Amino acid sequence: MSKSVDSLLAALTAHAPWVALTGAGVSEASGIPTYRDHGGKWLGSQPIQHDEFVSDAARRRRYWSRSALGWPRVAKALPNSTHDALAELERSGTLSGVITQNVDRLHQQAGSKQVIDLHGRLDQVRCLDCSAIEARSTLQTWLETHNSLPSAASLNIRPDGDADLPEQIISDFSIPQCSRCNGTLMPDVVFFGGTVPKPTVEACYQLIDASQGMMVLGSSLSVYSGLRFCRYAAERGKPLIILNEGQTRADDLCWHKYDTEPFSLLAECAHHLRHAAQEQLHG
């Protein structure tokens, strides 16, 4: 066993249960595009801001036209070995749950039970006026029926999944309104500049309170909404472990950082713990 596996295994065992805070890096291997590189630098275009979406109909049209092309890729994404390892750690009692900054629902797909979608979920659409929820897949069918979309292959798709669409397509793009009140529909996610609902934040604090330690996976913690939980855990004397390639904003708070192939390391530890549990069962 490598030294890193040894030390991570020892920590996982000594301070269980842990709560995991996950970011875009975890879903990268599933083909979900990330906004930042390992150094925290932006890739591609700036994502839409909450206020822009709410107040600017042209900006909304642009968002939905690009999203109509990008969504199928997200919809067919599958969990990878890191999602599997976290689900495994929950089953073995090493993990109390996951707080995720990702909106792709891959933790749930992998079998994790206790998951808080900090920034919402992309598979749902919410009405800004009456709060009704609709499935994104229903909306996708509507978008594809009422617009003539170019094939993804004919476009220059950027690393963040956005496509450079011809302006004509964007200005003619039709978007549906809420079937209940004719209001404005928005993906059920927290855009940049938006606010995480208070009950969601409270649920995260409760999950941290119920855990002995906290681990951060695949996030540079560039966004305050995740960073505050690391500070909260550190203030309460809970060990903080970071599994991430590259710098994070909580490096000074952490107990130990694993930045060399952190995801394979975690998968290996989950594997060891599963075997240990099985041996105990049969021994």
Q: Mind telling me the catalytic residues?
A: 119
Q: Does 56 bind Zn ion (CB under 5 A)?
A: no
Contact, 196 vs 225, CB < 8 A? yes
Residue 51 CA: distances (Å) to CA of 11, 35, 142, 192 = 43, 19, 25, 9
* Amino acid found at 94: T
| Binding piece for Zn ion, criterion CB under 5 A, among 18-26, 173-181, 202-210, 257-265 | 173-181
| Contacts with Zn ion, 102-141, as mask; x by CB under 5 A | -------------------------x-xx-x---------
Alpha-carbon span 23 to 218, nearest angstrom: 5
Alpha-carbon span 248 to 257, nearest angstrom: 10
Alpha-carbon span 12 to 262, nearest angstrom: 14
Q: Which of 178, 208, 215, 227 binds Zn ion (CB under 5 A)?
A: 178
| Binding piece for Zn ion, criterion CB under 5 A, among 38-46, 55-63, 153-161, 171-179 | 171-179
**Residues touching Zn ion, count (CB under 5 A):** 8
Q: Does 183 bind Zn ion (CB under 5 A)?
A: yes
Smaller CB separation from Zn ion, 182 or 260: 182
Q: Which of 181, 261, 275, 278 binds Zn ion (CB under 5 A)?
A: 181
Burial of 25 (0-12, 13-18, 19+ CB in 10 A): buried
Smaller CB separation from Zn ion, 41 or 180: 180
Binding site for Zn ion (CB under 5 A): 127, 129-130, 132, 178, 180-181, 183
